[in-house]
Each structure stands twice: as C-alpha cells, then as structure tokens.
C-alpha cells in the first residue's frame, strides 16, 4: 500500500457488548494498527449477509482511502464540542469541495439543549455536509465509538471527501395510502383537520371504515398505519414517517410523534413488506448505477422495525440489498432507533452508502 493511502474504519457492536466497547477498540487498534474508530452499539448488527438481532455480534470494516479523504470527528457532548466539530467539518468541506458526514448519535444525547432531532440539520448546515448514519439502539446504554474509544450521550463519526467515489440512497418502508393534504393543528403534535375535513374522518375513509367502527376492528386496521410528512423541495418523492400516538374518534383528532404547524402537509401510509422490498431494490440499483463502478464496500443503516420485523427471518433484507449492488460487496451497519440522511432523522427507512 502506498504512503498516500490509509485504512479507515467502521465498527458496529451488539449492545450486549456495549460496556466492553473500549476494550474492543483497544484490541482492534492493537491488531490492525488503526488508532481511531467510529461506530455505534445496537440491538441489531449488519455483517456481510447476516442480520444479527439481539445476539453477540461485532462488524468491522476497513477501507483504504486517500490520506486526506477522511477525518474522524467528535465526540460531541455539549455546545463547545459541537462548535469544534462544526468548524472542523466546515474546513474539511471547503478543502474537499464537498463532504459526506457519517454520523452516529446516542439517542440520549442533547449537546445543544434543543432536542436531538434538530442536531442533524444544524450540523449539516454548519459543516456543509450531507449526512448518513443513525441513532444507536439498545436496552440500556447506547454508546458510540468516537475517535479513540467509547463515548456515552454523545455524537460522533467521520468526514469523507466527496471527491472519493461515494453514492447514497434512502429506501422507504411505508407506502402512502392516500394523497398529501394540508394540516390544521389542534395542539402540540395533534392534527385537527386535513384539507378542512376532520383528520380522523380522513383516516377512517382511507382505511375503508365508516361511522364509529368497533374498537377491535379499528385497532387491527391501524396496526401497520403511520403518517408521512412530505419533504418540501425534495428532488424525488421523499417523506418522513412518524408514528400515530393517539386518536379521538368523537372529536376527529389524530396525534402524531412530530411537531407540525398549520399549512404543513401529511398523508397516511402503511408499513408494507412488498413495497419496501421493491423500493429497497430500486434504491440500491440506482445508487450502484450512480457510483459508476463496482462498490468496494457499503454502509447500511436500517430501522429496527425492518430486518426480520418487516422482511421476515433469514436475512431477507440483506439478500435484496446484495442482489441489487452485487453479491461480492462487503456490507456493515446496524439497526437504528432512527436513520439519518442529508439533514434529518427518518423512520422505517434503510439508508445506504456505497464506496467505490
């Protein structure tokens, strides 16, 4: 390997080993000579063709890239360390022309004191980044690996020059069951009306129900139903999926797990294996085409509700992914509490990054 090249790392570890992440990093550093690692602990780890859920697992990727093509950043634990990382990212992006930011977030972190959901957008804008990554997941501790070792309640990752061959994509796990409509809010996280019709009436109509349905029938009908918020200005059909938090049939109200405002748009959607599989295959083939060469490696962050919970047992999600990008491409990643792409946190999606 020439002196102009270096080996860059990625580490994803079962949350069963979360307390041992420092020791794992020390062993890996000793064995490989790579001192700085980035990654996360998760309930599910992606390693090659395997989806390893709630079992001891460790996935490592080493990728040779030009020495100036990658920089680790973090851990970000407070406003001061955020400013340091944002300045580092902005300088790196300016020197590189454009940069990808791989980001791992402990969901219990709140370095800016504004709620974790705002951080991807603020960091992406401040650093001139396109972000990919996700929120760690676990029963208790959800640490990340940042630079030299474990960091709790923190955010960290790596900056990658887009002069390197990189392609990304987002695959949705829910399909719309009706058109987008204009929201009128009734309270914090509560939708009162959609296009001047009570939100609950719209939902019942799109489910094929009328009147006041039986509670058991309504609960069954809502089992895989979520709400999608279209992203304004997206260059393709794109939306954030959020959970329904409650319904009020009498008052016609629908609660959702996201703050919305009058004039925002929303549509109901259904979590569906068939459409998710088709969209994953389409997205991965498109990323492979845009990369322009066979990928040398891939980072894949998928929602905890996907994997065996959507596609069924037997590593079926990864089988679809490998068929689309080429079976010889090594893949690492994890199942996240929320997936990050561009400048926002998604849900029920798969976020793919290919390295050429």
Hey, where are the domains in the chain? 5-171+275-355, 174-271
* Residues linked to residue 168 through DSSP beta bridges, in sequence order: 353
Output phi, psi for 213, to 5 deg: -65, 155
pTM, entire model: 0.90
CA distance 109 to 116: 7
For residue 85, count other CB atoms closer than 10 A to its CB.
24
Q: Please, which pLDDT band fits residue 236 given cuts at 50, 70 and 90?
A: low
For residue 3, pLDDT over 50 is answered with no
Which pLDDT score is estimated for 142? 80
For residue 305, pLDDT over 60 is answered with yes
Buried/exposed 313-322: b ≥16 CB within 10 Å, e otherwise? eebbbbebbb
Cα dihedral 49/102/291/240 (nearest 10): 80
78 alpha carbon, distance to own chain's centre: 22
Paired tokens of 46: 């992606």
C-alpha closest to that of 19 among 140, 109, 135, 148:
140
Which pLDDT score is estimated for 7? 38
Contacts of 88 (CB under 8 A, 6+ apart): 71, 73, 127, 159
C-alpha closest to that of 295 among 332, 325, 317, 320:
325
For residue 136, pLDDT over 80 is answered with yes
3-state SS, 52-114, equals EECCCCEEEEEEEEECCCEEEEEEECCHHHHHHHHHHHHHHHHHHCCEEEEEEECCCCCCCCC
Cα dihedral 31/302/88/59 (nearest 10): 0
Reported residue count of the chain is: 356
Which pLDDT score is estimated for 270? 94
Which pLDDT score is estimated for 80? 96
C-alpha closest to that of 177 among 212, 155, 204, 198:
204
Paired tokens of 211: 């009147």
Dmax over Cα atoms in the chain, in whole Å?
A: 72
CA-based R_g, the chain, Å? 21
Average pLDDT, the chain: 89
Q: Are 130 and 342 in contact (CB under 8 A)?
A: yes
Name the one residue in this structure whose structure tokens are 């319904």: 247
Paired tokens of 344: 């926002």
174-271 has which fold?
Answer: Elongation Factor Tu (Ef-tu); domain 3 (2.40.30)
Q: Are 201 and 319 in contact (CB under 8 A)?
A: no
Which pLDDT score is estimated for 1? 25
C-alpha closest to that of 194 among 270, 135, 256:
256
Better-predicted residue by pLDDT, 209 or 283: 283
Peptide linkage before 75 cis (omega within 30 of 0):
yes
Of the listed ranges 95-104, 149-158, 191-200, 270-279, the one predicted with least confidence: 149-158
Q: Are 39 and 11 in contact (CB under 8 A)?
A: yes
C-alpha closest to that of 66 among 9, 159, 2, 4:
4
- Range 174-179 average pLDDT: 93
For residue 232, count other CB atoms closer than 10 A to its CB.
8
């Amino acid at each position: 390997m020439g002196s102009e090249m270096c080996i860059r790392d990625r580490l994803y570890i079962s949350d069963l080993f979360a307390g041992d992440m420092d020791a794992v990093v020390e062993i890996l550093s000793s064995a490989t000579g790579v001192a700085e690692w980035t990654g996360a602990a998760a309930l599910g780890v992606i390693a090659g063709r395997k989806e390893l859920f709630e079992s001891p697992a460790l996935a490592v990727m080493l990728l040779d890239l030009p020495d100036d093509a990658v920089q680790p950043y973090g851990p970000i634990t407070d406003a001061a360390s955020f400013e340091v990382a944002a300045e580092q990212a902005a300088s790196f992006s300016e020197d590189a022309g454009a940069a990808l930011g791989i980001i791992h977030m402990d969901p219990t972190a709140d370095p800016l004191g504004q709620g974790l959901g705002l951080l991807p957008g603020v960091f992406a804008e401040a650093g001139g980044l396109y972000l990919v990554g996700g929120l760690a997941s676990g029963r208790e501790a959800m640490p990340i690996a940042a630079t030299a070792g474990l960091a709790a309640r923190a955010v960290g990752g790596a900056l990658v020059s887009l002069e390197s061959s990189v392609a990304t994509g987002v695959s949705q796990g829910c399909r719309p069951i009706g058109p987008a409509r204009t929201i009128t809010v009734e309270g914090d996280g509560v939708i009162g009306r959609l296009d001047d019709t009570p939100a609950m009436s719209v939902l019942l109509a799109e489910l094929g129900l009328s009147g006041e349905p039986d509670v058991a029938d309504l609960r069954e009908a809502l089992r895989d139903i979520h709400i999608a918020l279209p992203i304004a200005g997206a260059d393709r059909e794109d939306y954030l999926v959020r959970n329904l938090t409650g319904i009020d049939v009498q008052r016609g109200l629908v609660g959702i797990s996201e703050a919305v405002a009058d004039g925002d748009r929303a549509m109901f959607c259904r979590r569906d294996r068939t459409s998710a599989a088709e969209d994953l295959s389409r997205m991965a083939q498109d990323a492979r085409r845009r990369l322009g060469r066979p990928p040398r490696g891939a980072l894949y962050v998928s929602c905890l509700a996907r994997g065996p919970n959507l596609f069924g047992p037997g590593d079926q999600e990864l089988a679809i992914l490998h068929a689309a990008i080429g079976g010889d491409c090594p893949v690492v990643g994890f199942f996240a509490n929320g997936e990050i792409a561009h400048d926002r946190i998604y849900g029920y999606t798969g976020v793919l990054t290919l390295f050429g």
